[in-house]
């Protein structure tokens, strides 16, 4: 059973456009929702994170929108750049501390 579902699997966006990646979860006990960015040959790196008592968090061009009632959250990348091309993972943390990851979205930003 996949606890965190991520979509789309891949995404192509023009430079300057908005990239949107969506995630849905089932377990209402999750207490922390981070997004990770992974470049080829590297481990994932924490990008931005949100707690379930907040509906939106913005850091620079990156924004998380969180809908607790719908059990959904999304990552928006404004003014997308070719350097943003990477694989993005959403995740949700169980009470014990373990992160459950989505399947990943491969983002390609075309110049």
Partner 1 sequence: GAGVSQSPSNKVTEKGKDVELRCDPISGHTALYWYRQSLGQGLEFLIYFQGNSAPDKSGLPSDRFSAERTGGSVSTLTIQRTQQEDSAVYLCASSLDHPGTAYGYTFGSGTRLTVV
Interacting residues with partner 1 (CB under 8 A): 6, 31-32, 34, 36, 41-46, 49, 51, 89, 95-104
Considering beta carbons, is residue 62 or 102 the nearer one to partner 1?
102
Smallest distance, partner 1 to C-beta of residue 87, A: 9
**Local structure of residue 69 (DSSP, 8 states):** T
Nearest-approach distance from CB 110 to partner 1, in angstroms: 21
Give whichever of 50 and 109 is closer to partner 1, judged by the CB atom: 50
Question: What letter does residue 84 receive in the DSSP assignment?
Answer: G
Taking the CA atoms of residue 45, residue 48, residue 50 and residue 56 in that order, the dihedral angle to the nearest 10 degrees is: -160
Nearer to partner 1 (CB atom), residue 24 or residue 44: 44
Closest CA to 105 of 85, 78, 79, 82: 85
Write down the least CB distance from residue 83 to partner 1, Å. 19
For 82, phi then psi, to 5°, come to -55, -30
Give the shortest CB-111-to-partner 1 separation in angstroms. 24
Whether residue 45 contacts residue 70, with contact meaning beta carbons closer than 8 Å, is answered with no
């Amino acid at each position: 059973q996949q606890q965190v579902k991520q979509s789309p699997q891949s995404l192509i966006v023009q430079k300057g456009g908005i990239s949107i990646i969506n995630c849905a979860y089932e377990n209402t006990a999750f207490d922390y929702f981070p997004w990770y960015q992974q470049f080829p040959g590297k481990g994932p790196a924490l990008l931005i994170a949100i707690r379930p008592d907040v509906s939106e968090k913005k850091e620079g061009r990156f924004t998380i929108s969180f809908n607790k009632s719908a059990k959904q959250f999304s990552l928006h990348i404004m003014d997308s750049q070719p350097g943003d091309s990477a694989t993005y993972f959403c995740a949700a943390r169980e009470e014990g501390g373990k992160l459950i990851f989505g399947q990943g979205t491969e983002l390609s930003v075309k110049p």
